[in-house]
Amino acid sequence: MSKILVIDDDIEILNLIKKALSDAGHQVDTCENGSDVMRAIRDTNPDLLLLDVMLPGVDGFSLANRVRVSPETVNLPIIIISALGPSRPLFESMPQVKAFFPKPFDVNDLTDKVNEILTGG
């Protein structure tokens, strides 16, 4: 069972993603605040990170950079989920960012992409 950490400050989106990915057989943990993400990563040791860009505490771009340079998380793949479609180019140079989903997104497409990344596809 793959472990996924979802970071978003919108409870409805967190619940939607958690249900869809849990139904697909994944263990899903959530975090609502950018300031708590690095601790949550250490606590959950996820196989994949789903990250919103606009978060209270620390923004998603800064978090993605922290994950990218930390020895413990350098190989952790990331999917960006954001209402800020224009922010996509900021993440394109990061090798860990495997996909960018603009909000609103199709939860089935997201689940398919998660499965593809976790199976090495």
Domains for the chain: give ranges and CATH numbers: 3-116 (3.40.50.2300)
Q: Mean pLDDT score of the chain, rounded to an integer? A: 93
In the chain, the percentage of residues whose pLDDT exceeds 70 is 99
Does residue 121 surpass a pLDDT of 80?
A: no
The contacts of residue 73 (CB under 8 Å, 6+ apart) are: 41, 66, 67
Residue 14, pLDDT score: 95
Predicted pLDDT of residue 86: 80
The pLDDT of residue 119 is 93
pTM of the model: 0.94
Share of the chain above pLDDT 90, in %: 77
Q: Which pLDDT tens digit goes with each residue over 85-107?
A: 788 898 988 999 999 999 999 99
Average pLDDT over residues 46-52: 97
The pLDDT of 68-74, averaged and rounded, is 91
